[in-house]
Amino acid sequence: MSYLQDGDGGALQGMPLGFAHRGGSQDENTLAAFRRAWEAGYAYLETDVHASADGVLYAFHDPTVDRTTNGTGAVASLSSAELDALTVRGPAGDPPPRLLTLLTELPQARFNADLKAPGIEAEFARVVAAAGAQDRVLAASFSPGRTRRVQRWLPLVARGASPWLIAASVLLGPLAAPVLRLAARRGVVALQVPVAWHGLPVVREAWLRRVHAAGLAAHVWTVDDEDEARILLARGVDGLMTDELGMLAGVLAERGAWPQSTRVRDAAGPARG
């Protein structure tokens, strides 16, 4: 099965995708949050990746642990043993999860992974391969070199667009079409964008037509307003990322596009990993 399941023959054919941003607003980036999102119907889980001082990869957004845990300091300065001993603020009381743990504990979920830290590409590729998750992961990053290196080692891993490609798609207008087609041939599958960029609207009908004509998907982050979600879906976006899991599930249910995790699970058959 390919990463994107909303295309022809996919378990979610014709459906807009719902992404649980960091697992939702509770217990951000924890196994508990991602498991809760999967059980609520989310097949697509968005997360971030940092590395510990000894090179272990964690699902963690910030460069430091101060905001979301009972600890202090940079993720990169703490050992894996120190990170495992922390508690993420929230009702579950989970530690920050190792990326390998997420991939193996949720063996049919699809992960949209933003590679936040430099130099983690080889270990990311190793972890994804160890979990047998090459077709369940999209590698995203503000650094296009990171995702290119991951896909060079693991060709089945999907790749998100770089900020430079996104900027070109907006600023060049119709002239961006050849660049978008080239990116699609080189393994990019989606442009993941905000509704607006530095005050400039991104998700317009003409922009969507260009993206879709190149064979690329358009995913929008982070949409927590119900009316905005409906407007964007009516406009034709292919997926929305949200912290408000109940809201987006309800909006997608109105379109007959919910739940999604059970459909992916049933199409995949017995869990691997």
Catalytic pick among 50, 61, 212, 219: 61
- Coarse DSSP helix, strand, coil percentages of the chain, rounded to the nearest 5 percent: 40, 20, 40
> Mind listing the domains of the chain with CATH numbers?
17-50+108-266 (3.20.20.190)
Q: Strands 44-51 and 57-59: what pairing? A: antiparallel
pTM above 0.85, yes or no: yes
In the chain, the amino acid numbered 3 is: Y
Tell me the two tokens of residue 224. Answer: 């927590």
Catalytic pick among 21, 50, 198, 212: 21
In the chain, the amino acid numbered 170 is: V
Residues in CB range of 203: below 8 A, 6 or more apart: 193, 195, 218, 220, 232, 235, 237
Integer Cα distance of 70 and 60 in angstroms = 14
Q: Which residues of the chain have pLDDT under 70?
A: 1, 270-273
Q: Is 61 a catalytic residue?
A: yes
pLDDT digit string, tens, across residues 154-178: 999 999 999 999 999 999 999 999 9
pLDDT digit string, tens, across residues 250-266: 999 999 999 999 999 99
Q: Is 219 a catalytic residue?
A: no
Residue 273's pLDDT is 46
CB-based contact 165:186 (threshold 8 Å) = no
Integer Cα distance of 207 and 134 in angstroms = 30
Specify the 3-state DSSP secondary structure of 90: coil
